[in-house]
Structure 1
Amino acid sequence: MAYDEGLAERIRARLGADPAISEKRMFGGLAFLHEGNMAVGVIGDELMVRVGPDATGAALDRPGARAFDFTGRPMRGWVVVASSALSEDEALDAWIEEGDSFAASLPPK
């Protein structure tokens, strides 16, 4: 599955040159990792975000978000955000910040 390179570029622009951030092809898309822990990624034209188990309910209440169900079983602590909810830079920024903050809270891999 191809991923939206435009969305990936928007993410790169926001994460900047942070040396803690790396990229890795995963799930047929592109993942952005903070010290080895996945923070956000792009699958198709959608954004996947690692929000953590405690924040999943609140994240699912936000526009365009749904449970990340890649294998037929929803993954706790992860959401997918529809591209239609990412047209505004402020919305994308908020999701990236949430995913990066959660990943940064985990021990480095």
Structure 2
Amino acid sequence: MARDEGLEELLREDLQAEPGLTEKTMFGGRAWLLNGNLLCCARDDGMLARLGKERDGWALEMPDIVPMKSGGRRMQGWVQAGPSAFGDDVLRRKLMDAALAFVRSLPAK
């Protein structure tokens, strides 16, 4: 899977001031972890954001945001944002804020 370097750069800029953040290659793209917990990913097919189980309903009502699927199976609490969604600075920030809030609630690994 090819990488979306433009999306990777957007996420790096959005997350640069976040303490406890690490970045690594995962899921055919780049993933960001907060205190060892997966937060979000940038892949060639879009941005993945971890919003938490039953916390993703609002996001799924937005255009160009769908449930994340892995191996044909829906991943509960994860959404996939396409280019028109992650390219919207306000919407991308809202997704990141929701993902950060959820992942901060998890115990560090």
TM-score by length of 2: 0.92
- Matched ranges for 1:1-109 at <5 A: 1-109=1-109
Partners of 1:33 and 1:48 in 2: CA distance? 12
Higher alpha-carbon deviation: 55-64 or 4-13: 55-64
Deviation per CA, 1:23-59: give whole Å up to 9, x if none: 1111111111110111111111410010101212222
Q: Which has the higher strand share?
A: 2
Deviation per CA, 1:43-85: give whole Å up to 9, x if none: 1141001010121222211221111112111010111011122
Deviation per CA, 1:78-103: give whole Å up to 9, x if none: 11011122222111111111112211
Q: RMSD value over aligned CA atoms?
A: 1.3
* Residues 49, 80 of structure 1: 8 Å contact kept: yes
Partners of 1:18 and 1:29 in 2: CA distance? 20
Paired residue secondary structure (1:19):
coil
User: Which structure 2 residue ranges, 5 or more long, are not aligned?
Assistant: none
* Residues 54, 77 of structure 2: 8 Å contact kept: yes
Paired residue secondary structure (2:76):
coil
Paired residue secondary structure (2:74):
coil
Paired residue secondary structure (1:53):
coil
Partners of 1:27 and 1:86 in 2: CA distance? 18
TM-score by length of 1: 0.92
Partners of 1:11 and 1:4 in 2: CA distance? 11
